[in-house]
Structures are given as C-alpha cells and as structure tokens.
Amino acid sequence: MSLLSGSVVGFLHNWAEKLDTTKGEILMKNNLSDIGMFKHGVADALLNGRMNEEKQSSFYYKQGYDFGLVMWNELDESDNNDEDFSSIREK
C-alpha cells in the first residue's frame, strides 16, 4: 500500500466517523435496523413458520412476520392453482 492510498484510507475513515455522529446518519442507522427487523420477520414466517421469541417485541419484526405469512398464503394458493392448470393442460 502506498503512502498516498494509506492517507486516503485514513481520511475516509475519519470522515466516516464524523458522519456517524450526525443526526441524519443516526436516523439512517435506525431505519436500516428497522428494515433488518422487518426482513427477519418475513424470513421467519416464510422459512421457519414461527416467531423468534427474542425479536417478537419489535414492531417492525411483527410487521415483517405478518407480511411473510400473507406471502406464504399467496404462494400456497398459487401452488394449488398450478395443480389445477396442470390437470387442464394434460387433457
């Protein structure tokens, strides 16, 4: 690593640390964690079929879990419809 690239990395690191303390950056981190909780809820509903007890107190986790259940029901219905159409195609 050259001296120039090392100083650029140092500058970027210091700049990033300053951004972390701004109100906008804090809000962005909160939003990302909210989105993460929503995604965990969707995944738990679709893949596990049950809520994670440690995360169920999060509003966004619950919203994601509910959304995942709706998606699971939609997928289940579409699977049933595909079977109906396959019997028509075979005739």
Q: What is the pLDDT of residues 62-77, one digit of tens each?
A: 999 999 999 999 888 8
Q: What is the pLDDT of residues 8-19, one digit of tens each?
A: 666 565 655 555
Residues 6 or more apart whose Cβ sits within 8 Å of residue 51: 41, 44, 61, 65
The residue behind tokens 């995944």 is 43
Whether the pTM exceeds 0.85: the reply is no
